[in-house]
Amino acid sequence: MKTTKFFAIIMLLVTIAGFAQNGSKKLDKIIKRDYQIIECTIAKMSDKTVEYSLPGETLQISLDISQIARIDFASGRSQTFDVSTTSNVVSSTNTNNSSNQTLASADMKPNTIAVLPVPYVNADNLQSSEEMSKFAQNDLYNKLLDKSSNIFPLTVQDLRTTNSLLHKAGIDYKNIDETPIEDLQKILGVDNIVAAKISFTTAESATSVAYNSGNAKISDNNKKVKTSDIGTTSTNTQTYYYYTVYFDMYKNNTKIYSQTRKPLFSIKDSWIDSVSYLLKRSPIYTKK
């Protein structure tokens, strides 16, 4: 009887240890080009697809590599996927159109950083705002100019030059994410690039306040003779903005900085503070 109990205890401990080991198992991370992050266990990779399973599931899901920007493996290794090397099928169907097309390259300006258009996307309906994209790009550009002494020896390429070169290449805030960094650096003639993206959702909250106001009439002998009360209800609607700011930096085609941040406050334009926060913690920034 004692042997049976002892054996049962041993089996229980082994089971608990197994669960603990599974619970602490590190997961792989797939970062998609739409900035969605999938935590999973990668089972198989090929030139065209990645097969993975979600935590606690055995079903394997297949994902096209053209949708993947980067994979952070549980081992600590990272692998970045370039659009130019993962779109063989698409490029082969457009051979007639692109075989004679030559990528326009600007003269390379060493130690120069360009600010790309900033996609500003409402995650609720996936709509992009051209006006806010330009505003965010200008904001980041001006921040770099204001901190020129902190990013020395880098100089900031004029925003008009950047946008003009991109426009000639048919690139804007809508398709900037689809263009390889290597091509962007050739088009812009710079060896450094800062690329940001702002995604947000909104929510509304209504608050109602009710109060009474009294109106008293006084007689000649200073005595109240009549009082009338008026009830009033006031409703205020507050819109909350929940932002996610993606912030990447590249040098000589290599990503040197990649961070994501959510603003502390859910108010309009709170993303601006997050951009400042991420810039000041980037490798190009030095405190003075």
d(CA 210, CA 4): 71
pLDDT one-digit tens code per residue, 56-96: 888 889 898 888 888 888 888 888 776 544 444 333 334 33
Backbone angles phi, psi at 249, to 5 degrees: -130, 145
pLDDT digits (tens, 9 = 90+) for 154-212: 999 999 999 999 999 999 999 998 899 999 999 999 999 999 999 999 998 877 666 66
User: Which residues, other chains included, contact 206 with Cβ-Cβ below 8 Å and sequence gap of 6+?
Assistant: 235, 236, 237, 238
Structural domains present in the chain:
25-87 (2.30.30), 106-200+245-280 (3.40.50.10610), 203-238 (no CATH)
Q: What is the CA radius of gyration of the chain?
A: 29
Are 181 and 33 in contact by the 8 Å Cβ rule? The answer is no
Residue bearing the bigger pLDDT, 222 or 276: 276
Residue type for position 228: S
| Contact between residue 116 and residue 253 where contact means Cβ atoms under 8 Å apart | no
Around Cβ 282, how many Cβ atoms within 10 Å?
A: 16
Burial label, 118 (beta-carbon count in 10 A; 0-12, 13-18, 19+): buried
Separation between Cα atoms, residue 10 and residue 17, nearest integer Å: 11
Strand partners, 238: 205
Two tokens, residue 223: 């005595």
Are 176 and 117 within 8 A, CB to CB?
Answer: yes
Q: What is the pLDDT of residue 197?
A: 96
Enter the pTM of the model.
Answer: 0.58
In which residue are the tokens 């880098």 written? 154
